[in-house]
Structure 1
Amino acid sequence: MERPPDDNPELTVTADTATATYKTKVTAAFNGAAATYDRLGVEFFTPMGRRLVERAAPRPGQRLLDVGCGLGATLLPAAREIGPHGYALGIDIAEAMIEEAGREAARQGITNVELRVMDGEHPDLPARSFDLVAGSYSVIFLPDARAALARYARLLRDGGRIAFTSPVFTKDTFPFLPPLFTRWIPLSLLEHLPPAWHPEQLHRQLNSWLEDPADLEAALRTAGFTDVEVVDESVDMTAASGEDWVNWSHTQGMRLLWQHLPEAEAAALRARLTEALDALRDAEGVIHIDVPVRYVTATVAR
């Protein structure tokens, strides 16, 4: 959501209240989803996180910050790359996510990781203390992501880099989902969402600076970055069944829609998606969905 001009105190208070409410709801949603998040027979965030680490290319001994680390899909492979003499800090607004990520790090025997509950939009961390800031499907969803980018620039050492992922936004596809789903999920269903998530608001918040790579590059340069690279690649999302994917979607970008759909429409959509996805099974019974993902890297301009 866009912040109003600071010279109007009344509007500023309203925006601050709306932002606080939004973050409270997001925190509650991810706390509730942490136990099953990305563990419901669907693979997406893990391969995307690994690919982001490959593109970010952290080096042994570096210091890494992962914003909105979730269960560690980016944090943990990056921690392996920087090795025992490096330091990886994962922050997330949801305490349950931090707890689950800690358990996963211990399970994998990764010991150079620290995890903290922290608001990724306003990280309370020392200036120039990291070599790399990463954020997979996290940074761009902050209420004022463009302002946060400038804060990350201040956290980076000279020559430090930022690396993050974003959906490839277009005006004619259902928000946060691959184009394939436009066949099955009519955009008219968005009318059930709260006003802040209606198409025109989503376009203002996300598409207005993320849809065109030139706008994204301009935002990063304004925030203090240079050598911006924007690359779109497909991630092979896999699902064990249509039902698994639908269950998984209740913990991801579609969760708000599921929460607001009338019961009959939700049941109809669930049945339609399950049937359509099951029709995509390959010879081994696995569903493969190409998901366009935008990988963004840049270097701090000092």
Structure 2
Amino acid sequence: MTMADKYLMGAATSELDRMLFQGEMFRPEAQRLLDRCGPGPGGRAVDVGCGPLGILDMLSDRVGPGGEVVGLDVQPAMLDLARRLVTERKLDNVRLVEADAAATTEEAGRFDFVHTRLVLMNVPHSDAVLNAMVALGRPGGTVAVQDVDWLTRVCDPPHPAWTKVVDLIAELWRINGMDVHLGRRLPRLLRGAGLTDVQVDAGIRVFQRDHPYHTLVVDRAELCRDALVERRLTSHDELDQLTGALREHLAHPDTVVVHPVLFQAWGRVPGGPAAAHD
């Protein structure tokens, strides 16, 4: 298994549905990002790790019929659904490519806008992915990253099962070479990759029991069950006890869940005129 294959959440139908829901949920944040630094009409944009849709539809609308959008993903199941959605929504200026973000054959220096969302935290070769993204941007173009930091992943009232499950997943990410606190490091990561004029913003969401993401921590633990047990971080019996207790706690009307901070950071590829924005 290559590093690019180690997406611990998998690509089952339930996960594809979750990613589509997540894309819609974070549409306002993506809209604000594009208003600040997105491509203009006729531009070329790439969404790295686009999954089943990412922000392909938003980029398609931004660049218009005279522009081009590339959706890049390493997982065939993600791209199968993306192809269907691109066809259904008549996104004629969108092209889909199956490739590891760090090893794409897309032409270097081609794109006015290079974007990724919730990818760097979930891959062990995040530095290589970011460097490849910078290489794809034209001189003066923009590279933009959206990713989370588990700084605010808490629930209230507190519960020991919540703390244990969050710690288990964070440790699984760590031993697989990933960082659940990557979000706060985005500005310096972008500068370290050679970008200039780096800017950053962040936002937090809060969920109650009527929202599907209220139980995301438990759902993620279940998706990662085999990996957690294989790494000897827990047992099936212990995980059953933890997730059972946590689901009961989350079902209480007083329980509030704070989502990780969503950081947005963007910068300019050195050289050339600044990217044109709407």
Paired position in structure 2 for 1:162: 143
Matches for 1:119-134 after TM superposition, within 5 Å: 119-134=100-115
In 1: Cα distance, 2:45 partner to 2:96 partner: 12
Which letter maps to 1:275?
A: E
Q: Name the Cα RMSD after superposition.
A: 3.6
Given the alignment of the two structures, is residue 228 of structure 1 paired with residue 228 of structure 2, yes or no? Answer: no
Give SS of 1:79's match: helix
Unaligned runs of 5+ in 2: 272-278
Among 28, 51, 64, the residue aligned to 2:29: 51
Aligned residue-pair number: 261
Moved runs in structure 1, 4+ residues, more than 6 A? none
Tell me which of 204, 223, 235 is aligned to 1:255: 223
**Residues 1:30 and 2:5 are matched in the alignment:** no
Task: For residue 144 of structure 2, give the secondary structure of its aligned residue in structure 1.
Answer: strand
Distance 2:81 2:209 in 1: 22
* 1:39 alignment partner, one of 6, 11, 17: 17
TM-score of the aligned structures, taking structure 1 as reference length: 0.71
Q: Distance in 2 between matches of 1:141 and 1:101?
A: 20
Aligned to 1:270: 243
1:124, distance to aligned residue in structure 2 (A) = 1.6
Offset, 1:106: 2.1
Percent identity over the alignment is 21
* Equivalent position SS for 1:134: strand
The equivalent residue for 1:7 is: none
Indicate how the Cα distance of structure 1 residues 82 and 166 shifts in structure 2: closer, same or farther if over 3 A, else same.
same
TM-score (norm 2): 0.77
Alignment partner of 1:37: what SS? helix
The 3 A distance-change label for structure 1 pair 275 and 103 is: same
1:1-302, aligned counterparts within 5 Å? 20-26=1-7, 30-31=10-11, 33=12, 35-37=13-15, 39=17, 43-56=21-34, 57-170=38-151, 178-180=153-155, 183=159, 184-187=161-164, 190=167, 197=172, 201=175, 205-206=178-179, 210=182, 212-213=184-185, 216-235=186-205, 240=210, 246=215, 250=219, 252=220, 255-257=223-225, 259=227, 260=229, 261-280=234-253, 290-302=259-271
> Are the equivalent residues in 2 in contact too, given 1:239–1:245 (CA < 8 A)?
yes
Contact 2:187 2:265 in 1 (8 A): no
